[in-house]
Every structure is written in structure tokens, then in C-alpha cells.
Amino acid sequence: MAKKEKTQFECQHCGYISPRYLGKCPNCGSWNSMVEEKIVTSTDRRQAVSFTGKRSQPTKITEIVPKKTPRVKTQMDELNRVLGGGVVPGSLVLLGGDPGIGKSTLLLQVSQQLALTGGKVLYVSGEESAEQIKMRAQRLGVLQEDFYLYAETDLEAIKQAIESLQPEYVIIDSIQTMIQPSISSVAGSVSQVRETTAELMRIAKTNQIAIFIVGHVTKEGALAGPRMLEHMVDTVLYFEGERHQSFRILRAVKNRFGSTNEIGIFEMHDTGLQEVNNPSQVFLEERLQGATGSAIVVTMEGTRPLLVEIQALVTPTMFGNAKRTTTGLDFNRVSLIMAVLEKRAGLLLQNQDAYLKAAGGVKLNEPAIDLAIAVSIASSYKEKGTQATDCFIGEIGLTGEIRRVNFIDQRIKEVQKLGFKRVYVPKNNLTGWQVPEGIEVIGVATLAETLKRVFGVQNF
């Protein structure tokens, strides 16, 4: 097989390729990021084949008979929800997250559960030895006959192991440690990550093997490596959470087999990750009764309604410009709502510092949280608390109107299930569904009207 050696310079930040060295990358603008790489390419352009020797051939679309391959469900309902119903055979799933957040722990537990379904699992680790993984597996209780460990970074050796073992599931921990021998660059470089992921994708698609790969993240929180990495895989999952809190959120940002709005919530224990079946109650259990600057909202994460407390602290500024700080909320959304409060409801906020957060470490980014943000800001500004059994749902327009939101019936059912007595919703959302018993639903049309009803005063 004839081989040719090619030299090129590649940006380690964005993957831009240049035939000569450049001090500044013309694509992303970073300095001194161009690294020389020698790539050995083969002149043999045969397409990839499966381990059984079958090649794919062009076929008329009318002659293709779709196969209904059932998803493989794990014992974690939270993970099944995020994946779209379970693990799809032949899929390539990328799991990213901060160091120490629990990515390897999650995949070890998933490996055990997949092995219990009757399939072989091959766990390939390039960061830990087999003995180290065995110690963690004993702590988590992950000991199955069809669960194989392999400490290796050479992708060619990994391919041979996959071909000989014929597993149904493969886990690569992590993709930044894998090496393609035909590429001379170091592990974790843009070329290595791109080529190893492409090879794993061909293995998954041609042999119907579900492959999970772990990806490192940068200090900005994005997945390390080229942006192409996220386009190549079928599903991209982010494992989020505060290092000093036990709760973890698994979020899908790309999914070819399901919704990208679903989240799964876990809690880290000594024995591994445990599912949180009622996250709304967890987010509200530490709420202070009668506190000002607090409002409850029902947000939809995919098909799941979540009750989350939004907290606001408004204080007079000591400097010329008022400070705005948000945690878990979009900064621009908060600034917009504060402008509407000042213009349409008469709240003088231009000389007030404002600090807002979504309690529990969850990130909210849907329009239905606008009304709860506005009520929490007004509550802190006026030093008037909201009722503990009140909830607020609605989008706020620039003219001060409360606009309709979707899934209003599901939101109200979740509110009623957790014992809330009154909920403020957009007036245009009152028709087309049945109000559950034991809860009062109040329709509001404007922001000023809402504040007058909530706080019982006329000076808004």
C-alpha cells in the first residue's frame, strides 16, 4: 500500500489548516497557535467496511426496507429521557463536562446496566489503568461478567480489540487521549481528535455498535477540539453542576434521535450517581417563608415541568453606574425586563444594583420565566414578599403586556401537585384547557396589573 507524507500547519484552537506557518490564525485570530503536523496518507481509498466484510452499496430509496431497531433502556430513567428513550444501536454519543464532575462515574454505572441487558460492554480508558478503574467499580458495585476493561490509547489496537470481542457497546474515556498512528501530532491535537472520532464513527455505523466518547472541556466551558467534533457525533450531552454541590444536570444540546430540550438530574453520593425523581421539590425545599425578592416559576425542560425559585436582590448603588449580575439567567433578558419595569411599571431602577439567580444551580432560558423575574425584582425593590403558595408564568413584551406561553396545562398540573394554591398566567392562556381542582388561576394582561394584584398596592 503506497503512502505519502504531507506537512501542514494547523491551528490548535479552531482547526484552520495552512500550507505554511502563520503567526496569527486568519480564522479565529489567535496568535502562535499554528503547529506543524506531518500526516501520512494512504493512496488506497477503499471505503470502510464492517467487521463482517460487508460493504455499503448505492440503493434506490424505494427499495430500502427500514429496520425498526428498539432502543436499549438503562435503569436510569433520567438518562433515557435525555437520550430520547434509550440507547440507539449504532449511535455515537459525546459526553462533555468539567473535570471531576462525574463523567466516568456515570458511564461506569451505565456500563453495568447495559451489561445486564445481555450485551457486551468494552470500556476503553486512556487516562486510568485497569486497576484504578476496578477500584472505582468495586466502590460503585459495578461487577459484571460481560463488562470488559481495556487501558489503551492506540486506536489501531482498540479496533482489533473491538473486532475480536464484538461488543454491543464501547466507551472511550477520553477522546483527547486517543492516538491515530498515521498522524504524527500529539494526543489531543485537532488532527488527532478529528481523525479518531471519524474512525470511531465509521465503526459505530458499519457495525451497529453504540459508542460513548468522553470529551474534555476548555476553561470557557466548550468542548475541547475542533467544532467539527460536535457535528460528527449523533448526540452531544453536557454534564453540568457546581463542584461544591451534589446535584448534577445532564443536558442534551444535540440529539438526532430525540429532543434537545430534555435534562436529567442526578445527585452524587459515595456509591455513585442517584436519580432525582422529583427535582421541583428539591429546588424549593430550602426556600425561606416570607422572604422578599423571591418568586416561583414553572419552566419546561423538554417534556418535564420544573418549579424553580428565582431570587433577586435590589440595593442602592454606591457608584455612578448600577451593577447587574445574573447566575443561571440570561443577562440580556434581565436587563430588558428591568427596563420594562422602569418604563411601564414606574420602578426607578437606574440607580439600583441588581443581583439575580436561579436557585439550585439550574440554568433557565425560556420566555415563560419573564413574569417571575419581574415579580422577584419588584418584591426586593419594594421590600414586600410574595405569598409562599403563589406561582408566576408568562412572557413580558416591551410594551408591558403579558404574552401567552405553551404547555400551560402541564405547568398548572405540576403546580397543583406540589401544593400551590394560586398561579398567575397570561390572560390569553385561560381558554382551551380545564383548570384542576384546588388551585386558583388568575389571568393577567399587563405587568402593572400583575404587580397591583400581587402586592395589593396602587403605586406601581
Alpha helices per DSSP H over 208-330: 228-232, 279-284
Which pLDDT value is given to residue 62?
85
Q: Please, what CATH class does the domain formed by 74-275 belong to? A: alpha beta
Identify the band that residue 46 occupies on the pLDDT scale cut at 50, 70 and 90.
Answer: very low
Which pLDDT value is given to residue 50?
60
Task: Kindly report the pTM of this predicted structure.
Answer: 0.75
Q: Which of 263, 271, 269, 270 is nearest to 361 (CA)?
A: 263
Say whether 254 sits in a helix, a strand or coil. Answer: strand
Percent of the chain residues topping a pLDDT of 70: 92
Identify the band that residue 221 occupies on the pLDDT scale cut at 50, 70 and 90.
Answer: low
- Report which of residues 140 and 93 the model is more confident about: 93
3 pLDDT more than 60: no
Which of 90-94, 95-99, 317-321 has the highest average model confidence (pLDDT)?
90-94
Q: Where are the domains of the chain?
A: 1-42, 74-275, 282-455
Interval 343-399: pLDDT, tens? 999 999 999 999 999 987 788 889 999 999 999 999 999 999 998 889 999 999 999
Which pLDDT value is given to residue 41?
57
Identify the band that residue 52 occupies on the pLDDT scale cut at 50, 70 and 90.
Answer: low
Whether CATH 3.40.50.720 fits 282-455 = no
Interval 34-45: pLDDT, tens? 888 776 555 444
Which pLDDT value is given to residue 458?
56
Which pLDDT value is given to residue 43?
46
Identify the band that residue 47 occupies on the pLDDT scale cut at 50, 70 and 90.
Answer: very low
How far is Cα 28 from Cα 207, in angstroms, rounded to an integer? Answer: 37
- Report which of residues 8 and 315 the model is more confident about: 315
281 pLDDT more than 90: no
- Report which of residues 212 and 143 the model is more confident about: 212
Could you tell me which residues are annotated as the binding site for ATP?
97-104
Mean pLDDT of 227-241: 86
Distances (CA, A) of 77 to 81, 170, 248, 274, 306: 6, 21, 15, 11, 16
Strand partners, 204: none
Q: Are strands 352-358 and 235-240 parallel, antiparallel or unpaired?
A: unpaired
Mean pLDDT of 416-425: 90
Interval 151-208: pLDDT, tens? 999 999 999 999 999 999 999 998 989 998 888 778 888 888 888 999 999 999 989 9
Distances (CA, A) of 411 to 176, 262, 285, 369, 376: 42, 16, 19, 12, 19
89 pLDDT more than 60: yes
**CB 418, CB 307: distance < 8 Å:** yes
How far is Cα 309 from Cα 294, in angstroms, rounded to an integer? Answer: 7
Identify the band that residue 459 occupies on the pLDDT scale cut at 50, 70 and 90.
Answer: low
Which pLDDT value is given to residue 302?
77
Identify the band that residue 303 occupies on the pLDDT scale cut at 50, 70 and 90.
Answer: confident
Q: Which helix (H) or strand (E) holds 426?
A: strand 422-426
Identify the band that residue 1 occupies on the pLDDT scale cut at 50, 70 and 90.
Answer: very low
Strand partners, 310: 295, 358
Name residues whose C-beta falls within 8 Å of residue 453's C-beta, 6 or more positions apart in sequence.
424, 442, 444
Angle at 353 between CA 352 and CA 356, to 5 degrees: 125
Distances (CA, A) of 268 to 97, 265, 271, 272, 288: 15, 10, 8, 6, 25
Q: What is the mean pLDDT of the chain?
A: 86
Instruction: Work out the number of other CB atoms within 10 angstroms of the CB of residue 456.
Output: 8
Mean pLDDT of 15-19: 83
Q: What are the φ and ψ backbone dihedral angles of 206, each rounded to 5 degrees?
A: -80, -20
Which pLDDT value is given to residue 342?
94
Which range has the worst mean pLDDT, 31-35, 345-349, 404-408?
31-35
Could you tell me which residues are annotated as the binding site?
97-104
The amino acid present at 138, given as its one-letter code, is Q
Q: Are strands 324-327 and 169-173 parallel, antiparallel or unpaired?
A: unpaired
Interval 98-149: pLDDT, tens? 888 889 999 999 998 998 888 899 999 998 888 999 888 888 888 778 899 9
The x, y and z cell numbers of residue 398, run together, are 416591551
460 pLDDT more than 90: no
Alpha helices per DSSP H over 28-101: 77-83
Mean pLDDT of 21-49: 72
Distances (CA, A) of 186 to 6, 24, 142, 153, 179: 16, 21, 33, 12, 8
Q: Which of 342, 424, 360, 221 is nearest to 334 (CA)?
A: 342
